Structure 1
Amino acid sequence: MKIVTQVGIIFSICWISQIIEKLLPFSFPASVIGMILLFILLCVHILKVDHIREKSDFLLENMAFFFIPAGVSIINYFDVLKNWVVQLIVICVVSTVVTFAVTAYSMKLALYLMQKKKSGRAKE
């Protein structure tokens, strides 16, 4: 029953994000709205990590499976994309490097802030 509840929570957030997407006067992806909504719910402690832990772990462990349709689509449109191979490779390499750099500096900042918070508590 716990898994069913967790799936229900995740799908409810997805459904609400799709409703919000339809109500917005501008185009914004429902998946991003859902992530923001989930983040807010976790930050204000309306939702606890334990409420969705098992199902989210399952989804993260099987994430590669969800990219199969996108990979197949790329193969289906290879004749269209073959004229842009060099540009696509450059975009992939640059975006990967930027993503790694932003992630590394974000982690450095998070660790710095956590250390600062920990040392501030130790002084009290």
Structure 2
Amino acid sequence: MKIIKQIGIFFTVCWLSQIVAAYLPFSFPSSVIGMILLFICLLTGILKIEHVQEKADFLMENMAFFFVPAGVSVMNYFDILKSTLVPFLIICIVSTIITFAATAYSVQFVIKLMNRRKK
């Protein structure tokens, strides 16, 4: 019963994010809205981490499985991508490096904040 409740919470958040995205005057991904809604619910205490922990762990452990359809779709359009392969690879490499750098600086910043808080 606990798992069904957790799945229901995730589906409710997804459904609400779809509704919010539909009413926004600009295009914004509903998945991002859903993450923001879930984060706000966890911060405000509407939801506790125990309400979603098991299902979130399951989804994180099986995350690679969810990228299979996207990978297959890329292979279906390989003829179109072939003409722009070099710029596509350059963009992927540069964006990966930028993401790594941003993550590293964010982690360093949070560690400094935590050390200040301890003092």
TM-score by structure 1 length? Answer: 0.93
Q: Deviations over 1:7-62 (max 9, x none)?
A: 11111000000000011111111001001111111111211111101100100110
- The answer to whether residue 54 in structure 2 is matched with residue 54 in structure 1 is yes
Code of the residue aligned with 2:19 in structure 1: it is I
Residue aligned with 1:28, SS: coil
Code of the residue aligned with 2:55 in structure 1: it is K
The equivalent of 1:10 in structure 2 is 10
Runs of 4+ in 1 over 2 A off after TM superposition: none
Residue 68 of structure 1, CA deviation: 0.5
CA-atom RMSD, angstroms?
Answer: 0.7
The within-5 A match list for 1:1-124 is 1-119=1-119
Percentage of matched positions with identical amino acids: 61
| In structure 2, C-alpha distance between the alignment counterparts of 1:108 and 1:13, rounded to whole Å | 32
Between 1:85-94 and 1:40-49, the stretch displaced more is 40-49
Residue aligned with 2:10, SS: helix
Code of the residue aligned with 2:38 in structure 1: it is L
Query: Which 5+ residue runs of structure 2 have no aligned equivalent?
Result: none
| In structure 1, C-alpha distance between the alignment counterparts of 2:55 and 2:80, rounded to whole Å | 38
Between 1:38-47 and 1:65-74, the stretch displaced more is 38-47
Query: Which 5+ residue runs of structure 1 have no aligned equivalent?
Result: 120-124
Code of the residue aligned with 1:3 in structure 2: it is I
| In structure 2, C-alpha distance between the alignment counterparts of 1:43 and 1:24, rounded to whole Å | 23
Code of the residue aligned with 1:46 in structure 2: it is I
Equivalent residue pairs, number? 119
Code of the residue aligned with 2:14 in structure 1: it is C
| In structure 2, C-alpha distance between the alignment counterparts of 1:24 and 1:32, rounded to whole Å | 13
